[in-house]
Structure 1
Amino acid sequence: MSPKTVTIAIAGKGGTGKTTIAALLASIFSQKGVVLAIDGDPSTNLHLSLGLSLENTVGAVREDMLRQARGGGPSLGMAKLDYLDLKIHECLVESTGIDLLAMGRPEGPGCYCAANNMLRTCIDRLASNYDYVVIDTEAGMEHISRQTTRDVDILLLISDPTLRGVISAVRMKELIGELRTRVGRIALVINRQDGELSPEVLGVIRDRGLELVGSLPNDPHMAGLEARGRPLTELPQDSPLRVGVLAIARRLGLVEAESKVS
């Protein structure tokens, strides 16, 4: 394990390919160290992209806490924190190189700060055991602090190549100052881009100070995998999408130039 865990969050509107990029980054990082993939999207699809089976979510643990609290169960003290550590580990899907933790559905109106804070504490303690943490966030920036209170080293904003999509990414960047989570570097990735970006899109990227670290093409291999229900980890090494994500990881300084994806 490295002295410092590197935390990367993937954010963007629904349908921009966040989960695909998160899964491929986790696969790439697993060649260098151990990875914790956190699925922050209530639809919980990240495990499918990674070829893993999912049984439990953190949301179910939260609901159990609420039931106990309403029923006059034990207070949320240190013993409860140890208990939650155990329950979080029960939600952990372990595999070679990549472990997965799914947040499940978000807290409802009956949830309270003590429970959420304790859950985040447990997740942060778990995450410190990994070299990399990759967070596939729920659509919208405000949800990052629900998944972890860890500082985010790199936030990747994913957009399609449309003007509307890039403007949405700009708005997400502007929301970062309102988060409890400190974010280091913010970068933009354009997904499903075939051909050149329009002058209007390039103008917004330039004028609003977005750092464009890469564009990813539509990949014909994806349709075949999705049709057969196969995980993205089966993309061939030379697939345009996989090569593109690896190039982004290199550009961000997360993977050495000579590294290969196996």
Structure 2
Amino acid sequence: MKRSIILMSLFTLFSCNENDPLEKEKPEKIITLDVSNTINSIDPLLPYQSPYGNNMYTLNGHPYASAAEYVFINETDFGMTIYPMIGLAYYDGKYDNKNFGWNLSTSLDPNLFANNHEYLKIVTCKSMYFGPHTYESSVGNNQLPTLGPTILPSKQFFDAPILTSHENGMLYEGGKFYGMEAGVHIPYDPNFPITGTAGGWLKFRFLPDNVRDPRQISPDWQPMPTNNISSNKDYWYNTKTYEICPGNNPVVGQGNAFSAVPSERKFSYKGKDYELKAYTTATQVIVSLKQI
């Protein structure tokens, strides 16, 4: 039997800056979602599964860290290239030049803390390539594989050369794979450009397509205080797990770089249909290319 969860009241919006119109918005209306088949690790009211809130291990005394498995699936005759985009995964409740047990400074963290912006600095990694009919998954207790070439069988990892060792350490323990530029090589050629109908940006699915405000569904999500930084708009954090997620607001000035980015791309080639998709489960982060 199907069951739907209907939220019966509006929730007070957390705000730390009275000048920020985003943080004073109220949910427009109540949304009803069918969650009858959802197995959820983070919020039973919202059909979003996440490995970033499972608290499966403690590293350096920071209990928020999670063990996530990264899976790359290519079930086609094509090659797949991605440029991962990564950043800090959690909001610790305030802007104080710290992220849980990690102190932030412009000398130690010139990229993740550029211009003294404490959150939501997204860094693009070097390309990762997955050949036709390959399956790779990461190993080890890490949240984001930024520290070394033994994470995947192909020796690839989330390699952003501009990051310092301090930044890589923070992301290894408390980072997140937010999205990517992805491309399919048609015909198969490792040097084929990653643009066109079979490529573009992807983000990992968080909200359903018709939902811009998770407070319409669950009180466990609040907007990230922007601290008067426009690029921080339309990010949300879970008040129980502290995870940060980008929203769906495509309006210029109200969204961010990921807001209007899809979580899947479909294309056809020689009469066959294919899907390039980014999604998560309670323990995995998955990028998949397959025929549909």
Same fold (TM over 0.5): no
TM-score, normalised to structure 2, is 0.25
Report which structure shows greater RCO (CA 8 Å, sep ≥6).
1
Give the structure with the higher percent strand: 2
TM-score, normalised to structure 1, is 0.27
